[in-house]
Each structure stands twice: as C-alpha cells, then as structure tokens.
C-alpha cells in the first residue's frame, strides 16, 4: 500500500490538476443530466409539464448520454489516474499526453452534446434524439457520432497513459507484483478496449457512413447487436471503479484492512474475461437471433454472479474487521461500531447495499423466461437506477468528499451537509426505484413520455398507478435536492481557503490482511487473461453476427432515419398477400 504521509496534491501537484479537471467535468455532466432526470420524472408522471412530449426524448437522450457516459467516465479517468500514480508512487510519464486525452474527451463531449441540445430548437437544423442506445433506424446528426468516437478514443489514450506509467515502473521494479490499485486499473482498461470494439465498428463502419449519405442502407439488427457487444460491459466499466473504492478505501474508513488482496485480483480477472460475452441477453426479444445463442448469453451472464458474490463477501468481511478493531462485538453488534457519521463511509456503504438489491433484479433480467415479463418495462429503468444511479453515482459522490480536499488542499466545507446528502440520495432512490420495479411488473412501459393510454388502465397488484407516480416524482425531487447539496459542498470547498499544512489526511489506501504475496503469480499474467477473454468473445459472437448478416445483409436494405413513414421498414419485394394488406393501411408517421 501507499506509505505516504502527505496529501496527494503535495506529492503530485501536476497530476492533481488533471484529476481535478476530470472530476469537475464529471460534476458538470452530473448537474445537467440530473436536472434532465427531474424534468423526466415530473413530466412522465404528469405532475408538472412545461414542454411538448416530443421534446421528452431529447431530454431522455441528454440524461442518458451525460450520466451514463460523460459523468461516469470522466470520474473514472480521474480516479484511475489517482490509483496508478498513488500505488506506483510515480507521476505520469508525459503530462502533455495526459492533458491531450483529457482535452480530446472534452471535445468529444461538446460535439456530441451540441446536436442533442439543438433538438430543443427549430432554429438549428440538427438533432440527435436517439437515446443513449442510438438504435437504427433512429438517426442523429453526424456530429453526435463523431463526438462519441472522439470521447471513446480519448478514453483509449487514457488507458495507454496508465499502461505506459505502469511499464516505466516495471522497468525499475522487475520483480515486484503489480500493486492492487494499478492491477484493477489495467484489467478494467483491457476489458474496455475489448468491449468498445463493438460500438466502434457499429459507428465507424455502418452508422456514420449511413448518416453521412455514403451508403443507402443499414442493418438495424446488426448495429443493435454490435451496440450490446459494448452496451453490457460498459456497465462494468462504470461499476469497477466503484468496486475499487469498496475494496481499497472502505476498509480504511472502517478502521481496518482489506480482507484479501488475492480475492480482489480474482474478481477483476473474472470481470475481464466474462463481461463482454453477455450482451445478447439484452436482445432476448429480438427475433433475428436464434434461441440457442441467447441461451449461451444467459449462461455467460449467470457466471458474472460469482465475482459480485465474492465482492460482497470480501468487502463485508473487511468492514467487519474494521468494526471489531474499533471495539465492535457480537454477530451483528459490530455494525454499530462502524463510522456512520462519516459521509464517505456511509455513502459508499449505502451504495453497496443498493447494489445488492440491483443484483437481485439483475438476475431477473438475465433469465430468458422471466426477462420476457419485464423486457422494455419500467422494471429495467428501476434496475439501472440502482446500478449506475446509486452503486456508481453515490460511491463517486461520497468518494469526492475525500478526493477534493486531497486534490486542492482545502478542507471539506461541511461534513454534516455531506452526510445529509448521501442519506437523501439513498432515500430518494429507494422511493423511485421501488416504484419503477413495481410498475414494470404490471407492464408500465419505459422510454415514453405518455405511459398511460386512453381506455386502458394498468392494474396494480398493490397500491395504484397514482401512488407509483407519486413515488417516482417524490424520489426524483429528493435526488435532485441531494444533487444540489452535493454541488454546493463541492463549490464552497473549492472556493474556500487553503487548509493549514498537514491538516489534510495522508493520501493512503487500505492495507491488507492477506497481501499480494499470497496471490498466485498467474493472476498477474494479463496476456493470458486477455487471450481467454478474446476467445470467449469469439465463441459467443461469431456465429450470431454471421447469422444476422446472412439474414439481413451487411448493410441491410435502403432505409431512411426517423421521422419517416412506415414504408422503409418493409422489404422492397413483398409477397402479394402482404402487399394487399399494407396497401390498405394508412401511412403512419413515426416520431421518435
């Protein structure tokens, strides 16, 4: 572990500036995305509406992109830069290169955000109301896709930076084991490189040429499959930084040590090899993929329960060790000895508790037969608000109460406000996610501004739709209030005076009860685990993708993006009976 006796900004002043900038980029995205989330909650529940329902989808797109990509990944690159420099006890190889990838990510964010936000006005001839998943035949302005590409390339270069720094350290320490935080960074980055190949191919080879008019056709199922090649492992790209904090920081704040370094390494190796071959479980209802391929994806997904269960055991055991070091006793009495008045510890602990609940709803999503009941319902929205919306977001906010003083040398403005903030987030998400899960069980749809239909009423098994709407609106309001408190604390902290020398806690992370010396050497063989990951991906995706191409063609058929009539969705040559039926149908305008 790090043996530093000084704060991070004192040891790494230049790296502190990069990380601080990345964190504030994350906070800005969180602010805008959180505001859009409140607007969605109030509009969808019909509590307060000030815009047309057509604009709801622009809000929904901005909410998803800014929170699921920009907020999470900007925080991640800052956190991973801290982890590498702290655990290797050396600065980045070239700060100009570091600032370069950060600048590229900022540029990509701006380019993607411009067409999204332009959708609110008719005076600018561009829009990208294509939602976070940007499925064809939804079509956004080419600038949106260019922005996404630059943002991802920036994250790739960040990974190169971390590997360069580790390799430079390795030359000076050839016989040393990879420090645990750096090991976590490298395995997560390798998973990210593999996962983003799918979305890179989808955008560069198919979607961007289609939106630029270079090709006339697109195969929606192919690009959808390539998106989910990336779309499920990106969940772990959000989660693994939170896992890192639970492993190396929670035990420290609890007053103890990490239970097992080897188990932590095993968990990150398992995520590297198992995360990517699972995306097809998001496509159980896609008719163009054979049931056998879906069954394979389900099996792969179920294996991912193992690293999550290992994490639950290791983190809770580490917290118990800390509590007993603080005088806790009894089977459950040790819980009272934990530092619940510390907003950093409490926020991370509550985030972990919410993730346990998300694991149960995730098992429902992963099972083929049960998934059919909740697919594309409000249940799914409730699930990912427990994962990225709480396990990730709450961990990142709680960790910021420790990181910002480390990066700036300024004391946290108000720990009591911070404690209220994390509790308020937990309560707000409890209300909102509970209502979303329950609503999904009786088929209330997701991704629509108008979930109620004329002459139709959803039958709630317990309570009523009105009660669920109230919970969603109340939960969304509490979450936004929590976000305001968080931002106020961050702003006032940064604007405050520099703390006295030595008053900021030392930049350290948790020591271990069982250290790296107890871990088999093979765990550090990144080439082996990457090779296995690639083989599993080839096994899981080669035949499904070839089957999709065989059925629909590499570029599908000629199709125009939304809004269009229903005609382009149909093959050029139809059976005579089908032509008769479609000729009798009125032309339907489809609006995203």
Name all contacts of 564-569 with Cβ < 8 Å and 24+ positions apart: 564/137, 564/590, 565/589, 565/590, 566/590, 568/137, 569/137
C-alpha torsion sign, points 347, 241, 27, 55: negative
C-alpha torsion sign, points 214, 130, 128, 74: negative
Q: Are 86 and 168 in contact (CB under 8 A)?
A: no
Cβ neighbours around 176 below 10 Å, total: 11
Tokens of 84: 């590498």
Cβ neighbours around 198 below 10 Å, total: 25
Of the residues 281, 385, 437, 438, which is catalytic? 385
Instruction: State yes or no: is 282 an active-site residue.
Output: no
C-alpha torsion sign, points 68, 73, 78, 82: positive
Q: Where are the alpha helices (DSSP H) in 135-232?
A: 142-172, 180-201, 208-211, 220-231
Instruction: State yes or no: is 20 an active-site residue.
Output: no
Three-state SS at 255? coil
Instruction: State yes or no: is 236 an active-site residue.
Output: yes
Of the residues 20, 232, 265, 438, which is catalytic? 232
Of the residues 20, 43, 321, 446, which is catalytic? 446
The number of CA neighbours under 13 Å toward the Cβ of 110 is 7
Of the residues 44, 224, 281, 447, which is catalytic? 447
| Nearest alpha-carbon partner for 409 in 289, 497, 344, 345 | 497
Of the residues 44, 265, 321, 383, which is catalytic? 383
Please give the backbone phi and psi of residue 126, each rounded to the nearest 5 degrees, phi first.
Answer: -160, 155
| Nearest alpha-carbon partner for 186 in 157, 159, 152 | 159
Q: Are 130 and 591 in contact (CB under 8 A)?
A: no
Of the residues 236, 345, 396, 480, which is catalytic? 236
| Nearest alpha-carbon partner for 270 in 243, 249, 230 | 243
Instruction: State yes or no: is 383 an active-site residue.
Output: yes
Instruction: State yes or no: is 232 an active-site residue.
Output: yes
Residues with a known catalytic role: 232, 236, 383-385, 446-447
């Amino acid at each position: 572990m790090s043996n530093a006796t000084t704060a991070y900004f004192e040891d790494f002043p230049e790296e502190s500036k990069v990380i601080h900038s990345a964190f504030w980029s994350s906070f800005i995205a969180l602010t805008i995305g959180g505001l859009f989330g409140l607007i969605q909650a109030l509009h969808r529940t019909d509590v307060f509406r000030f815009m047309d329902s057509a604009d709801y989808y622009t809000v929904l797109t901005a909410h998803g992109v800014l929170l699921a990509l920009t907020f999470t990944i900007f925080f991640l690159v800052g956190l991973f830069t801290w982890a590498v420099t702290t655990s290797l006890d050396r600065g980045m190889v070239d700060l100009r290169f570091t600032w370069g990838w950060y600048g590229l990510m900022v540029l990509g964010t701006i380019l993607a955000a411009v067409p999204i936000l332009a959708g609110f006005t008719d005076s600018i001839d561009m829009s990208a109301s294509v939602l976070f998943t940007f499925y064809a035949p939804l079509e956004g302005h080419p600038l949106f896709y260019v922005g996404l590409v630059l943002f991802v390339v920036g994250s790739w270069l960040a990974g190169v930076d971390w590997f360069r720094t580790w390799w430079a350290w390795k030359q000076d320490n050839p016989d040393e084991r990879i420090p645990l935080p750096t090991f976590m960074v490298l395995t997560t980055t390798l998973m990210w490189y593999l996962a983003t190949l799918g979305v890179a191919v989808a955008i560069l080879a198919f979607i961007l040429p289609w939106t630029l008019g270079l090709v006339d056709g697109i195969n929606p199922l192919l690009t959808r499959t390539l998106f989910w090649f990336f779309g499920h492992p990106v969940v772990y790209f959000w989660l693994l930084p939170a896992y890192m904090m639970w492993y190396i920081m929670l035990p420290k704040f609890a007053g103890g040590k990490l239970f097992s370094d080897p188990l932590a390494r095993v968990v990150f190796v398992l995520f590297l090899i198992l995360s990517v071959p699972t995306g097809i479980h998001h496509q159980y209802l896609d008719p163009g993929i054979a049931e056998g391929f879906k069954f394979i994806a389900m099996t792969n997904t179920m294996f991912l329960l193992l690293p999550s269960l290992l994490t639950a055991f290791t983190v809770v055991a580490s917290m118990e060790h800390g509590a007993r070091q603080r005088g806790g006793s009894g089977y459950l009495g040790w819980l009272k000895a934990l530092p619940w008045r510390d907003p950093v510890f409490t926020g991370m602990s509550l985030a972990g508790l919410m993730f346990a609940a998300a694991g149960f709803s995730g098992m429902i999503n992963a099972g083929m037969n049960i998934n059919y009941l909740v697919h594309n319902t409000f249940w799914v929205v409730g699930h990912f608000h427990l994962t990225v919306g709480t396990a990730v977001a709450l961990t990142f906010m709680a960790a910021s109460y420790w990181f910002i003083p480390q990066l700036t040398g300024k004391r946290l403005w108000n720990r009591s406000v911070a404690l209220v903030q994390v509790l308020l987030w937990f309560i707000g998400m409890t209300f909102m996610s509970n209502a979303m899960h329950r609503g999904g069980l009786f088929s209330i749809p997701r991704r629509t501004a108008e979930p109620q239909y004329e002459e139709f009423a959803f039958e709630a098994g317990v309570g009523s739709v009105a009660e669920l709407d109230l919970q969603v609106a109340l939960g969304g309001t509490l979450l936004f209030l929590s976000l305001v408190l968080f931002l106020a604390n961050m702003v006032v902290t940064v604007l405050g005076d520099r703390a006295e020398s030595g008053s900021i806690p030392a930049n350290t992370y948790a020591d271990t009860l069982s250290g790296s010396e107890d871990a088999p050497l093979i765990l550090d063989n990144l080439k082996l685990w990457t090779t296995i990951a690639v083989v599993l991906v080839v096994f899981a995706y080669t035949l499904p993708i070839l089957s999709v191409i065989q059925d629909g063609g590499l570029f599908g058929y000629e199709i125009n993006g939304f809004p269009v009539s229903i005609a382009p969705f149909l093959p050029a040559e139809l059976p005579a009976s089908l032509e008769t039926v479609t000729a009798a149908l009125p032309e339907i305008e489809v609006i995203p």
